[in-house]
Amino acid sequence: MASLPLPHPCLIVLIGPPASGKSTWAADNVRADQIVSSDALRAVVGTHELDLEASADVFDLVERIVDLRSGRKLTTVVDTTGLDGGRRAAYLEIGRRHGLAAVAVRFTTSAAECKRRNRERAHPVPVKVIDSMVKTAKALNLESEEWDLVLDPEPVRVVTPKLASLARDQDKAAVSSSSERRLKFGLHISSFDWVDETIELGPQLVRVARAAEDAGFNSLWVMDHMIQIPQLGSAWDPMLESYTTLGFIAGATERIKLGVLVSPATYRHVGVLAKTIATLDVLSGGRAIAGLGAGNHEREHVAYGMPFPSAPQRLSLLEDVLQALPLFWGPGSPAFKGNVLAIPEAQSYPRPLQDPLPIVVGGSGEKVTLRLAAQYASGCNLFGDPASVPAKVAVLHKHCAAVGRDPAEVEVTHLSTVLVGRDRRDLDARIDRLRSPRQGPDAYAASVNAGTIEDHVSRLTALTKAGVDHAIISTPDLADSSALETLGELVARHKG
């Protein structure tokens, strides 16, 4: 059954008589550490979970905990009967004060069913109390209160606000066979610190590459860096040379396309780059993709003694490389003179098997980078939220029009980091295993765009509608052999 996405952080207040299913619903839908239970607190400040003499202290404590958690932007589920209007108003005020969405979950279980469940409890509530509370619950008009959402006890999942918004926009619908176009999928390997021993890097890369191919991914990508970038790890983390790595993977796979996101124009002389990519294409049976960019990681240029020109100079060099590469891959040995480069003989044999060999320009700069993609490349690579993509695609199309090119000739790829779980429990287990002990589960989930398959189907639907043709996914969970199986389920579901 599909579940309703609620944005983290939010305040969820359960409202219903004893034995109406509130605690069971909470256990099924949220993490245990997100639940504030009046019964559990009675056992702390009283003699047992149904010590009514401790009620005043218990509800003071509930309100205080809810306030503290809400102030720290932590999703909180209030598991009490919720039938006292004054306490509900206090919870609402806390949620409003801290800027949290306030959700009421209304339990309308019949008196007969509540009594049946109550009889099975170790400490049953008096029958008269249940009758009274069922009557009170039925008389409530929660819609007249200031809740952002009033729900019956349907399945929910608490996700990042971005994923929740996308799911609402897409009405929780997956892309079906009636979609106007099918999305292609790529797997991006951006780090190698998930392998325990260096000697295991080769076998583990083979495992991942074959699993990605089996899962239905169309492409596999690596970064082109000498030193790991600060956004993803430490300078002493392992970083394999990109084209050697892709050549190794080519020998272990059959169909999946192989590319680099992206090779800085500053790293290699264009002739060496042309020869390297052509060799990869020939030996892989025509599966190479040339990913190119201007380069922006100054530290590794300095560390390796490579020049690091100004941004305008790097972009000028990139334009030269984009013009020169097809000459190296074409017939003859023509000369080339650009803004920066002068090539007496653009010669590289054997030629690539693909004609033309696809070139993807990385970066979303509207004035220069997207213009270069429109003028010289077969694809561009974007990043960011789905909401930001349409504006970039519109700029790309304007550049295409300016050079008289059909926008359909330029594939829009999109790179993002995601963590995907089959369901909430699977996702929670992955988050707990991967996060640093110093980082809370919610903060980590936001940092890796964590969500269930259902969440990410909505995100991919939004990307498709925004104009993306090829979704490239990076995940921190490659060490787990089940991660690519889960991603494969996402790919299969989205492809219909």
What is the phi/psi pair of residue 191, to 5°? -155, 165
Instruction: Give the residue range(s) of CATH 3.40.50.300 domains in the chain.
Output: 4-159
Is the pLDDT reported for residue 439 higher than 90?
yes
* DSSP state, residue 479: T
Give residue-wise pLDDT tens across range 85-142: 999 999 999 999 999 999 999 999 999 999 999 999 887 889 999 999 999 999 999 9
Mapping DSSP onto H, E and C, the string for 380-425 reads EEEECCHHHHHHHHHHHHHHHHHCCCCHHHCEEEEEEECEEECCHH
What the block records as the tokens of 484 is: 């690519």
Q: Where are the alpha helices (DSSP H) in 284-388?
A: 298-303, 311-329, 369-376
Q: Look over the chain and give the mean of its residue pLDDT values, rounded to a whole number.
A: 93
What the block records as the tokens of 297 is: 């990681």
Question: Which residue type does 36 have?
Answer: V
CA nearest 95: which of 64, 65, 71? 71
Helix (H, G, I), strand (E, B) or coil at 241: coil
**What are 412's strand-pairing partners?**
380
Q: What is the mean pLDDT of residues 431-451?
A: 93
**What are 359's strand-pairing partners?**
290
CA nearest 378: which of 317, 318, 290? 290
Q: What is the mean pLDDT of residues 441-454?
A: 93
What the block records as the tokens of 269 is: 């002389």
Provide CB contacts within 8 A for 51, sequence distance 6+: 42, 43
Note the pTM of the prediction, 2 decimals.
0.88
Instruction: Give the residue range(s) of CATH 3.20.20.30 domains in the chain.
Output: 184-495
In whole angstroms, give the CA distance from residue 130 to residue 136: 10
Give residue-wise pLDDT tens across range 218-263: 999 999 999 999 999 999 999 999 999 999 999 999 999 999 999 9
What is the phi/psi pair of residue 396, to 5°? -55, -45
Give Cα separations from 312 to 264, 318, 371 (angstroms): 14, 10, 14
Per the CB < 8 A criterion, the answer to whether 170 and 458 are in contact is yes
CA nearest 473: which of 399, 413, 403? 413
In whole angstroms, give the CA distance from residue 59 to residue 170: 39
Which pLDDT band holds residue 173 (cuts at 50, 70, 90)? very low
The burial class, CB within 10 Å (0-12 / 13-18 / 19+), for 207 is middle
Is the pLDDT reported for residue 167 higher than 90?
no
Percent of the chain with pLDDT over 90: 86
In whole angstroms, give the CA distance from residue 371 to residue 396: 7
CATH class of the 184-495 domain in this structure:
alpha beta
For residue 162, the model assigns a pLDDT of 81
Could you tell me which CATH number the domain at 4-159 has? 3.40.50.300
Give Cα separations from 233 to 254, 444, 453 (angstroms): 31, 15, 27
Give residue-wise pLDDT tens across range 295-330: 999 999 999 999 999 999 999 999 999 999 999 999
CA nearest 212: which of 245, 252, 256? 256
Q: Is the CA virtual torsion 461, 463, 464, 470 positive or negative? A: negative
Per the CB < 8 A criterion, the answer to whether 63 and 90 are in contact is yes
